[in-house]
Amino acid sequence: MSYQKTTLKEGIYFHKIQTNKFKTNLFSIFLTVPLTRENVTKNALTTAVLRRGTSKMPTQEEISRKLEEMYGAAFDCGVDKIGDNHSLKFYLEVVNNQFLPEKEDLVEEALTLLMDIVFHPLVEKEQFKEEYVQGEKENLKQIIEGKVDNKATYALESCIESMYEEKPYGLYKYGYIEDLADITAQNLYAYYQEFIKKCQIDIFASGDFGEENLEQMIEKAFATYTERKPDLALKMETKEEIKEPRKKMESKQISQGKLVIGLDVKTDKEEENYKTIVYNTILGGGSNSKLFQNVREKASLAYTASSSYARRKQNIFIRAGIEIENYDKAVEIIEKQLQDMKEGNFSEEDLNNAKNLLLSTIENIPEEQDTEITYYFGQELARTEDTIEMYQEKIRKVSKEDVVDVANKIQINTIYFLTNQGGQE
């Protein structure tokens, strides 16, 4: 496997992952801008409208037919919140040319189709097609309303919103229903035109490419595009000292309480990330973790107990599904685990188990094309250039002292509990 990045123009990058592990080629386009309250709903809606039709193929039926003709190629799209940035994602997977029954070039066809969907949408009278915009507004409304359906995800989102109130990271990636009324086919197209001029554009190609001159195809496609310097949120923030954690309870019709504890990691140093990744794995990253063993197994207080690390925001989120009456005891035991980590009350075996789990996970990154693309896109937004081997080596070097050092830079920011009793701030 080899990875190569080419700067087509400032703010427009082509990433090529040459690999012979797969029978498919995967092409991806990411359009990234800073996340704001004003643009979040428009971004989500734009993504949905773009998939509906292109200037050459005005309907989804025609696009689907074209995908079928390309031996069942698969297209997908969506939006992602990555730190304080918002990315519109578009994927097209197609069979590698060498596995086709006849000699054909699906690489150029796939790239052309994906580029058409993203950059050459269907436009009628200087606006998006009215029917498509109205239809996708209704679909997006249902997605936003459905946010509460998955209670565990809803609790995590609510904790983040509470921690980042009126800040970019607190925004819901699909936007807000109240913003939809003012969006029209005309002003959404005008927004899209400005968006394309300003966003960072990353094009990824993963697969076994032979004679196909991908660079030349991509360079030609972006020949008329202007350079741009998107003001992306790239730097890590220094966390403020918190005297007393925020506590928030919310009530819904549920049978199982959802506890989320948001932690701040008080560092703005990129190299601390690897220590924090190991810390998080020992704390709640698997069945050997302190949270799983002490909250779920020994105390039998939780159906689930784990933690995850939001690297770009230096936050760890502890999540547990518990019986509602066990709230106080669960918080007490979780706080005990955090204190134990600060005091170094974990073994070398705990450290090695965590590192081995991480090394195994990292080793598997190249085993799935979309996972590998996501990894390198994350490197792009972090402005780091760690190969997978470098990533593994940095994990191997983390010592117990490093983990204890991180543990003592961690503070509880917010304790959020989704209950079925009277909610209160």
Give the tokens for residue 332: 């007490």
Task: Check residue 11 and give its pLDDT.
Answer: 96
Give the tokens for residue 259: 């506890």
Task: Check residue 423 and give its pLDDT.
Answer: 45
Q: 236 lies in a domain?
A: no
- Indicate the residue type of 366: P
Q: Which H/E stretch holds residue 177?
A: helix 177-180
Q: 150 lies in a domain?
A: yes
**What would the pLDDT profile of 358-402 be if each residue is shown by its tens digit?**
999 999 999 999 999 999 999 999 989 999 999 999 999 999 999
Residues 150 and 287 in one domain: no
Residues 217 and 365 in one domain: no
Q: Which H/E stretch holds residue 24?
A: strand 24-34
Closest CA to 20 of 387, 376, 369: 369
Q: Which H/E stretch holds residue 204?
A: strand 200-207
Strand partners, 33: 86
Residues 265 and 181 in one domain: no
Give the tokens for residue 176: 């807000």
Q: What percent of the chain has pLDDT over 90?
A: 86
Q: CA angle 355-357-360, nearest 5°? A: 105
**What would the pLDDT profile of 124-173 be if each residue is shown by its tens digit?**
999 999 999 999 999 999 999 999 999 999 999 999 999 999 999 999 99
Task: Check residue 302 and give its pLDDT.
Answer: 76
3-class SS of residue 220: helix
Q: 233 lies in a domain?
A: no
Whole domain around residue 391: which residue ranges? 246-419
**What would the pLDDT profile of 264-287 be if each residue is shown by its tens digit?**
999 878 889 999 999 999 999 988
Q: In 10 A of CB 61, how many CB atoms?
A: 10
Q: Order across the sheet with 246-251: list the strands.
A: 246-251, 410-419, 257-265, 315-322, 302-310
- Predicted confidence band of residue 424 (pLDDT cuts 50, 70, 90): very low
DSSP 293: I
**What would the pLDDT profile of 98-123 be if each residue is shown by its tens digit?**
899 888 889 999 999 999 999 999 99
Residues 55 and 162 in one domain: yes
Q: Output the pTM of the full model.
A: 0.94
CATH code of 67's domain: 3.30.830.10
Closest CA to 26 of 37, 35, 15: 15
Interhelix angle 348-363/388-396, rounded to 10 degrees, is 180
**What would the pLDDT profile of 199-210 be if each residue is shown by its tens digit?**
999 999 999 997
8 Å CB contact between 84 and 91: no
